[in-house]
């Protein structure tokens, strides 16, 4: 049976939990994707001067779910531009932002383009024009949580998908070599993008959130504690909240992932708990790999990043 670590991993690899999907899940997403495919991006890209001579930097704005102007950095290597480039689209963790262009220099050094976007309303330069007709608790995720069409998760999912549309239209980019990547909230967005988008070649989901969300509400210390606090305040809405979240739960959408995906997990993570990640990962039927870090909590370490870079290089930079 092996030691405690190997037994723990073996238990997780065998984990199977019941789906929470509503009967119309696939139909809902087909209709939603069809609707938003026709929505214009109304995008703009503006050159930005930086001290980084080997990196061309643009400020990007586009519209996703609504009229909110999503802000991003678009980065290009100055060398190796004789052919179309692969592109890495990066989503940040909860309460974060797109940061600074130099945060992504390692990927530009690999010869890749990068688009890093803000998640609406959080700590970046992007606002949030979603209407609100019901109270919410601390943070962002309980905005509109009583309906699948008004909830915050729908907005950030569509924003993430429309970022892929924008990248695919850029003249420098090879549309057959696009990767979505992120950690925590960003890992959840990368995973849901892999399930819903036809623009991706591969995906990297570090310690992804948005997996087995009812379990997370009950047990984790993640942003899902906001949903728990909402239901504590409004206990009559428990069923409605869990039904809404089910449409954005990678547990229920994992069967749609048909591209190669690399996932990481920390066995000591109290935020995106291993049970939640494996519950979704084990439902993926295609080309997948998961890297386990037994002593890592809620973090994306240098080791995780290096393995992701190796995965990306082996798939996009051949």
CATH number at residue 129: 3.40.50.1820
Active-site residue list:
184, 269, 298
Do the domain assignments include residue 236? Answer: yes
**Is residue 2 one of the residues assigned to a domain?**
no
- Pick the closest to residue 210 from 260, 167, 160 (CA basis): 160
Does any domain span residue 90? yes
The reply to whether 1 falls in a domain is: no
Whether 5 maps to a domain, the answer reads no
Query: How far is it, in rounded angstroms, from Cα 270 to Cα 267?
Result: 9
Q: How many C-beta neighbours within 10 Å does residue 292 have?
A: 18
Answer whether residue 4 is part of any domain: no
Q: Which residues contact 256 (CB under 8 A, 6 or more apart)?
A: 26, 29, 195, 196
Of the candidates 113, 261, 103, the residue with the CA atom closest to the CA atom of residue 174: 113
> What total number of domains does the chain contain?
1
Identify the H or E element spanning 26.
Answer: helix 25-37
Distance CA 209, CA 191 (A): 9
What pLDDT sits at residue 2?
67
Residue 191 belongs to what domain range?
A: 11-316
Residue 145: closest CA among 253, 68, 247, 66:
247
pLDDT at 88: 98
**Within a domain: 224:** yes
Task: Tell me, yes or no, whether 216 lies in a domain.
Answer: yes
Give me the residue label for tokens 């179309």: 84
Digit-by-digit pLDDT tens for the chain (318 residues) are 469 999 999 999 999 999 999 999 999 999 999 999 999 999 999 999 999 999 999 999 999 999 999 999 999 999 877 899 999 999 999 999 999 999 999 999 999 999 999 999 999 999 999 999 999 999 999 999 999 999 999 999 999 999 999 999 999 999 999 999 999 999 999 999 999 999 999 999 999 999 999 999 999 999 999 999 999 999 999 999 999 999 999 999 999 999 999 999 999 999 999 999 999 999 999 999 999 999 999 999 999 999 999 999 999 997
Alpha carbon separation from 57 to 44, 110, 152 (Å, rounded): 13, 16, 29
């Amino acid at each position: 049976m092996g030691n405690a670590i190997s037994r723990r991993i073996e238990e997780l690899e065998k984990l199977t939990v019941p789906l929470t999907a509503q009967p119309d899940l696939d139909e809902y997403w087909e209709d939603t994707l069809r609707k938003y495919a026709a929505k214009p991006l109304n995008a703009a890209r503006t050159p930005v001067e930086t001290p980084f001579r080997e990196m061309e930097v643009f400020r990007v704005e586009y519209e996703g779910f609504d009229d909110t102007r999503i802000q991003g950095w678009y980065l290009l290597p100055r060398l190796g531009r004789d052919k179309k480039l692969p592109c890495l689209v990066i989503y940040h963790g909860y309460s974060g932002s797109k940061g600074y262009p130099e945060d992504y220099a390692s990927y530009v050094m690999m010869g890749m383009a990068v688009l890093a976007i803000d998640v609406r309303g959080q700590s970046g330069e992007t606002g949030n024009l979603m209407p609100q007709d019901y109270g919410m608790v601390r943070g962002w995720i309980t905005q509109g949580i009583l309906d699948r069409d008004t909830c915050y998760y729908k907005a950030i999912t569509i924003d993430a998908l429309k970022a892929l549309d924008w990248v695919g239209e850029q003249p420098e980019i090879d549309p057959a070599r696009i990767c979505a990547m992120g950690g925590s909230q960003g890992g959840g967005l990368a995973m849901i993008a892999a399930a819903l988008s036809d623009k991706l070649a591969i995906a990297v989901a570090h310690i992804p959130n948005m997996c087995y969300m009812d379990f997370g509400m009950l047990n984790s210390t993640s942003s899902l504690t906001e949903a728990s606090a909402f239901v504590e305040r409004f206990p009559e809405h428990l069923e409605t909240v869990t039904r809404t979240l089910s449409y954005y739960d990678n547990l229920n959408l994992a069967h749609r992932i048909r591209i190669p995906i690399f996932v990481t997990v920390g066995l000591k993570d109290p935020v995106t708990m291993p049970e939640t990640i494996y519950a979704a990962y084990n439902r993926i039927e295609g080309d997948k790999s998961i890297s386990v870090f037994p002593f890592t909590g809620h973090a994306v370490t240098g080791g995780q990043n290096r393995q992701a870079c190796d995965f990306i290089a082996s798939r996009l930079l051949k």
